[in-house]
Amino acid sequence: MGDRLRVALVFGGRSGEHEVSVVSACSVAAALDPERYQVVPMAIDRAGRWADPTTASRVLAEAGTTPDRAPSFEGSSRLDPRLLDGAVDVVLPILHGPFGEDGTIQGLCEMLDLPYVGCDVEASAVAMDKVTSKRLFREAGLPTPRWVTVNADEWGADRPACEERCLGLPPPLFVKPARLGSSVGITKVKETIELAPAIDLALGYDSLVIVEEGIPGREIEVSVLGGDPPIASIPGEIVPGHEFYDYADKYLDDACQLLAPAPLGPDKVAEVQRLALAAFATLGCEGMARADFLLDRRDDRFLLSELNSIPGFTAISMYPRLLGLSGVSYPQLLDALIAQALARHERRRRFAEAALRPLSDRSR
């Protein structure tokens, strides 16, 4: 048992997905093989403070006994000291949204020279930024809904010009903060009069807003597991219980339906898998990501919406569920992600050592 890998399971966090992160972490802890791994719980409260080890373990245990809700807790530290004293071998961040999925925890791990699961700093930040990722999708020739941007300075200086630019897209429109998750701050705009309040709302969460054309279609998701080569799962489908898949639909009233597998023909399955793998490569993703698509009812064409670099990890979440239906069990998924994290860290260590060698030795 002394040879077990010590896995820092980091969960909670400052985003609107705090609760689902806690529940996800509980599922992950239960699926990690106790013969191979020692789980080291690390909990971050809603204010960004790290809990002490006893509290972190308690929260994880309570989440296992109350799967319908996440326990509340408060932290007291700027950082869990176990990350600094050699108490862990690899970090498994199950943090969604800002301060977790956006490259911040990944950057911390890089600074501490710790292996970590999932996308690196750059890919995490890019995937979180809807505008940057869509620009890269477009550059790579991947289909994505049309959009325009509005920043806080432009909005403050000339609202009519910004509205005119947005209304160049066909309604309905979706107005979103550019760098936020959980559908927080998103408004579906059907009438011109609704546009300005929607932009005001989104600018309350981010200084950059994306205004995107609404697509009449089905919401399709594909899980991607990194590797050589990466694999794409069978697709699943989200059937919203509300007008669109908003925050309440995701987390509060359980009104949506999750169809796994999605009712698609073989050709459409192959097409969306190909697009998911292309999107994964375009953003430089590693480890894991969930690719979200819209299947346009008007022309039966897939449009790439976004990639989520740390998708939900509860036992019923689409990411592990779709991979499970594709032949990769939950424990096998975690084994693969941890192995990839360790391999990347070793590869980068060799590169770093090569870069530090004297110039006179580099040609040898």
* CATH number, domain containing residue 307: 3.30.470.20
Q: Which of 308, 317, 321, 344 is catalytic?
A: 308
Q: Are residues 304 and 238 in the same domain?
A: yes
Q: Are residues 263 and 139 in the same domain?
A: yes
Q: What per-residue confidence (pLDDT) applies to 98?
A: 86
pLDDT digits (tens, 9 = 90+) for 171-206: 999 999 998 765 678 999 999 999 999 999 999 989
Asked if 81 contacts 51 with a C-beta cutoff of 8 angstroms, the reply is: no
Q: Are residues 163 and 292 in the same domain?
A: no
Query: Any catalytic annotation for residue 116?
Result: no
Q: Are residues 225 and 90 in the same domain?
A: no
Q: Which of 133, 246, 306, 330 is catalytic?
A: 306
Q: What per-residue confidence (pLDDT) applies to 152?
A: 97
**In 244-311, which ranges are continuous DSSP H helix?**
247-251, 266-282
Supply the pTM of this predicted model.
0.91
Indicate the pLDDT class of residue 251, thresholds 50, 70 and 90.
very low
Q: Which of 100, 217, 312, 324 is catalytic?
A: 312
* Residue at 164: amino acid letter: E
Query: Any catalytic annotation for residue 287?
Result: no
Query: Any catalytic annotation for residue 12?
Result: no
Per the domain annotation, does 189 fall within a domain? yes
* Residue at 137: amino acid letter: F
Q: Which of 251, 284, 296, 301 is catalytic?
A: 251
Q: Are residues 94 and 180 in the same domain?
A: no
Q: Are residues 276 and 138 in the same domain?
A: yes
Q: Which of 24, 182, 233, 317 is catalytic?
A: 182
Query: Any catalytic annotation for residue 146?
Result: no
Joined tokens for residue 130: 């809807």
Distance CA 174, CA 151 (A): 16
Which of 73, 78, 91, 87 is closest to 22 using CA atoms?
A: 73
Per the domain annotation, does 359 fall within a domain? no
Query: Any catalytic annotation for residue 49?
Result: no
Q: Are residues 16 and 38 in the same domain?
A: yes
* Residue at 80: amino acid letter: D
Per the domain annotation, does 221 fall within a domain? yes
Tabulate helix, strand, coil % of the chain (nearest 5): 40, 20, 40
Please tell me the total count of domains within the chain: 3
Here the CATH number for the domain that contains residue 162 is 3.30.1490.20
Per the domain annotation, does 164 fall within a domain? yes
Query: Any catalytic annotation for residue 305?
Result: no
Per the domain annotation, does 274 fall within a domain? yes
The helix (H) or strand (E) run that includes residue 291 is: strand 288-296
Q: Which of 101, 292, 309, 344 is catalytic?
A: 292
pLDDT digits (tens, 9 = 90+) for 113-158: 999 999 999 999 999 999 999 999 999 999 999 999 999 999 999 9
Q: Are residues 136 and 253 in the same domain?
A: yes
Q: Are residues 137 and 265 in the same domain?
A: yes
Per the domain annotation, does 165 fall within a domain? yes
Residues ≥6 apart with Cβ < 8 Å to 166: 148, 150, 173, 195, 199, 211
Pairing of strands 5-12, 90-94: parallel
Per the domain annotation, does 354 fall within a domain? no
Which of 254, 131, 306, 255 is closest to 202 using CA atoms?
A: 131
Q: What per-residue confidence (pLDDT) applies to 249?
A: 43
Query: Any catalytic annotation for residue 37?
Result: no
Q: In what order do the strands lie in the sheet with 208-213?
A: 147-151, 208-213, 173-177, 187-189
Q: Are residues 164 and 271 in the same domain?
A: no
Host domain of residue 184: 147-213
Q: Are residues 270 and 132 in the same domain?
A: yes
Per the domain annotation, does 64 fall within a domain? yes
